[in-house]
Amino acid sequence: MNSKRWQHIMEWPLVVAALTFLGAYSWQVIGAPTGTYAQLAMALVIITWLVFVIDYVVNLWLAEDRWAWFRHHLFDLAVIALPLLRPLRVLRAITVLHILNRTVGTAVRGKILIYTASASALLVYAAALAVLDAERGTESAINSFPDAIWWAFVTVTTVGYGDMAPMSGLGRMLAVCLMLGGIALLGVVTGTLASWIVEKVSTDAEENQSATVAHIHALEESIAALTLQVETIGGQAQTGSESLRHTGDRFEDSTYSDPA
């Protein structure tokens, strides 16, 4: 089995694992389960983490140039390493967008916008969970999930009202990552919109140019037809003139030859 075959097999299992992790971590942070339920949520988190570990190890083993694969897949390594820092491990769920990006391939502009919107929504939700988990037990104003969602929206758009701010070091690290992610997503949207405008203007210009060329061809054909008609009429007029002249010559000849 080669690396591409393994990636094709693991695409949707990784999607399921990422979504399962996101659900289990949401349950841990928002629901705050205790006893058996807390153990179940933790077991789901560990199982999904093991799925990503197995995928990473197998891909590294099957790679033709393992060092080159390692250098080009640092994100996959971060997916495994980040869970060691509990508040940041939720970012592993963003892998689902990485898998969808593989599935989409060379996406059209509409799919790119859908992908960007999905990434933005997941980024805001994941950051809200992580910052709430990090800020619990501190003097931060972020002490409920609605507050965390509000903070995530304000931060990802780089508005920064300042009414809520993380107090812990991990919370501030999340804020920096979220701001950088928001800037990157805004750049994607702006670039896509600019590309659409340029393509629209280019298409309109090509259509206008095609219409102009078609009109010129139509005018050339009309001029050619009119020229042919004029030449035809001129030829007929010349033929008629010659016929009248010959008739006149015959009439004169007959007049001169009259014996009277």
| Separation between Cα atoms, residue 37 and residue 27, nearest integer Å | 9
N-term to C-term CA, the chain: 123
Query: What pLDDT sits at residue 43?
Result: 93
Query: What pLDDT sits at residue 86?
Result: 44
| Cα–Cα nearest to 130, from 26, 42, 45 | 26
Query: What pLDDT sits at residue 232?
Result: 78
User: DSSP assignment of 101-142, as one string?
Assistant: HHHH-S--HHHHHHHHHHHHHHHHHHHHHHHHHHHTTSS-S-
The answer to whether residues 151 and 126 touch, using CB atoms and an 8 Å cutoff, is no
Q: Can you list the residues of the chain whose pLDDT is less than 50? A: 84-88, 103-107, 260
| Number of Cβ within a 10 Å radius of residue 239 | 10
pTM: 0.65
| Measured CA distances, 184 to 5, 123, 158, 179 (Å) | 31, 12, 11, 9
Please state the φ and ψ torsions of residue 114, each to the nearest 5 degrees: -65, -40
| Separation between Cα atoms, residue 228 and residue 222, nearest integer Å | 10
Query: What pLDDT sits at residue 210?
Result: 63
Say which residue the tokens 């078609």 belong to.
214
Please state the φ and ψ torsions of residue 141, each to the nearest 5 degrees: -80, -10
Q: What type of residue is 241? A: S
Query: What pLDDT sits at residue 120?
Result: 80
Query: What pLDDT sits at residue 58?
Result: 93
Q: Residue 141: which residues within 8 A CB-CB, separation 6 or more?
A: 147, 163, 164, 165
Token pair of 195 as six digits = 């590309």
